[in-house]
A and B are shown apart, each in its own frame.
Chain A
């Protein structure tokens, strides 16, 4: 595997379900991100993990819960979602300045989430 991978690629879930999105980066980066992209809206940053510590949480509802067990893996746990949460969820990674980074973010293919 190369780059940033995400699974599943498509997910349909009911409002009472619990599911998790997985992201893995194979670039040796030390920062990982979750973004939400809704139709005809700009990218919304949800969570940032740098050196495995969460450094930003942009007022995201608690029904979204991130987990970063190590610098290569990132999860987004979902529970009791709403239909308006239907969107493309994107994971990205970058090398931050502490490790000679240049802030370039590389995105995974995304998970298309539909909440019914």
Chain B
């Protein structure tokens, strides 16, 4: 069974710090990886996609992928209170489906 594991948190960081969110996956053939942000009571919002080993940067966000170790991470630089949300890791490794982790709650304190 394909699994995506995330620490449920909460991960608490002060404003301005770097938040580091981690995710591991079980299916070695996975090729596409995604990070979603979900505010309480809202739907998930895609914030990053990564397909190749290494780092991908977009503004304050950096996704890191290591297929050999089967992990993907998300770094949020200069964290803001508005970044407080649950971050979902998702992995594509089958026809038309994503497998989602349970999410990590991030709390950024002013």
**A and B held together in a complex:** yes
What are the residues of chain A within 8 A of B34 when measuring CB–CB?
A: 103-105
B32 to chain A, nearest CB (A): 5
A49 to chain B, nearest CB (A): 9
Grouping DSSP codes into helix (H, G, I), strand (E, B) and loop, the B interface class, with mixed when no group exceeds half, is strand
In the bound complex, CA of A50 to CA of B94 (Å) = 13
What are the residues of chain A within 8 A of B88 when measuring CB–CB?
A: 43
Q: Are B44 and A31 in contact (CB under 8 A)?
A: no
Q: Are B95 and A55 in contact (CB under 8 A)?
A: yes
Q: Are A55 and B32 in contact (CB under 8 A)?
A: no
A61 to chain B, nearest CB (A): 20
A45 to chain B, nearest CB (A): 6
What are the residues of chain A within 8 A of B103 when measuring CB–CB?
A: 42
Q: Can you list 14 A-B contacts (CB < 8 A)?
A: A42-B100, A42-B102, A42-B103, A43-B88, A90-B44, A102-B49, A103-B32, A103-B92, A103-B98, A104-B46, A105-B46, A106-B46, A107-B36, A107-B44
A residues adjacent to B (C-beta < 8 A): 31, 41-43, 45, 48, 50, 55-56, 88, 90, 94, 96, 102-110
The 5 A-B residue pairs with the shortest CB-CB distance in the complex, in nearest-first order: A107-B43, A42-B102, A103-B92, A43-B100, A110-B43
